[in-house]
């Protein structure tokens, strides 16, 4: 059985790991998208996405060409002591799974309920994907899924086998 | 397979968690208890037939450490006895 799904390994994104009290972060990081209203939710502003991925923890994602702009805007070196901003762009590999059977492919490797009624367009979460910790969010016609860079080739192989 | 309630993410599959072991009793003052009691504290792991208080780490999720009561006979997550949990 084959699935009608397309697998793409995306180029590196600009990623910043933001930790600390939301009030302090929103005061310091003024150019980010609005902070999401709940856990495991995301917000967009232009090409940037802000994901609430843990208690007092957010992940900012944008296109790689905007990395320098974000570095200058977030200014991690000068950040107050109660917040932490770390550039983690090169630590994650993103896969894009799109097509009519994208959710079927996701369900092979992921235990999370990804039905739109449960995992809506503004949902994002770390979960398990083919045994690895992975960030899962929706994209147009499918899902984006990020794993640690070192697991990238393995996950690519698993996805190829799943859709072969 | 258990469905463990994470305070940040909500109920999640057991596969996303790492077992952190049972919650140990309060550490006694080694100078105030007998050798037998001290040895029992450092060597005996709580392993009741019934509800046991455990720590779990949402390692493949949000990273939260949480405490639950699990019934060792059924793997059901249950309310803690009395005012515990």
Task: Give the ipTM of the model, two decimals please.
Answer: 0.91
**B12, B16, B62 ranked by CB distance to A54: nearest:** B62
Domain range annotation of chain B: 3-78
- For residue A54, which residues of chain B lie inside 8 Å, CB to CB? 8, 62-64
Q: Is A98 exposed, middle or buried (0-12, 13-18, 19+ CB in 10 A)?
A: middle
CATH of domain A14-90: 3.30.70.1520
pLDDT in tens, A38-56: 999 999 999 999 999 999 9
Q: Would you tell me which CATH number, out of the four given (3.30.2270.10, 1.10.10.10, 1.10.3720.10, 1.10.357.10), belongs to the domain B3-78? A: 3.30.2270.10
| pLDDT tens per residue across all 85 residues of chain B | 899 999 999 999 999 999 999 998 889 999 999 999 999 999 998 888 999 999 999 999 999 999 999 999 999 999 887 644 4
B9 touches chain A (CB under 8 A): yes
pTM equals 0.90
Domain range annotation of chain A: 6-10+91-163, 14-90
- Quick one: tokens of A150? 């070192």
pLDDT in tens, A132-163: 999 999 999 999 999 999 999 999 999 999 98
**B16, B63, B64 ranked by CB distance to A127: nearest:** B16
B49-54 long-range contacts, Cβ below 8 Å, gap at least 24? B49/B73, B51/B78, B51/B80, B51/B81, B52/B22, B53/B22, B53/B23, B53/B80, B53/B84, B53/B85, B54/B19, B54/B20, B54/B21, B54/B22, B54/B23
Instruction: Tell me the CATH class for A6-10+91-163.
Output: alpha beta
């Amino acid at each position: 059985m084959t699935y009608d799904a397309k697998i793409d390994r995306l180029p590196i994104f600009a990623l910043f790991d933001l930790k600390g009290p939301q009030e302090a972060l929103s005061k310091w990081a003024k150019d980010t998208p609005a902070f999401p209203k709940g856990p495991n939710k995301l917000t967009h502003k232009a090409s940037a996405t802000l994901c609430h991925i843990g208690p007092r923890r957010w992940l900012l994602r944008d296109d790689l060409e905007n990395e320098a702009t974000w570095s200058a805007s977030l200014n991690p070196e000068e950040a107050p002591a109660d917040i932490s901003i770390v550039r983690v762009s090169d630590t994650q590999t993103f896969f894009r799974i799109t097509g009519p059977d994208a959710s079927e492919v996701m369900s092979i490797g992921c235990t999370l309920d990804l039905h739109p009624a449960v995992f809506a367009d503004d949902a994002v979460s770390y979960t398990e994907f083919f045994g690895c910790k992975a960030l899962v969010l929706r994209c147009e016609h499918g899902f984006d899924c990020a794993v640690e860079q070192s697991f990238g080739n393995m996950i690519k192989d698993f996805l190829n086998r799943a859709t072969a | 397979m258990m469905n463990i309630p994470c305070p940040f993410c909500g109920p999640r599959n057991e596969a996303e968690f790492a077992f952190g072991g049972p919650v140990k009793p309060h550490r006694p003052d080694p100078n105030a208890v007998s050798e037998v009691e001290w040895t029992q504290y450092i060597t005996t792991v709580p392993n009741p037939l019934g509800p046991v208080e455990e720590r779990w780490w949402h390692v493949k999720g949000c990273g939260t450490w949480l405490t639950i009561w699990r019934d060792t006979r059924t793997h059901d997550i249950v309310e803690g006895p009395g005012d515990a949990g």
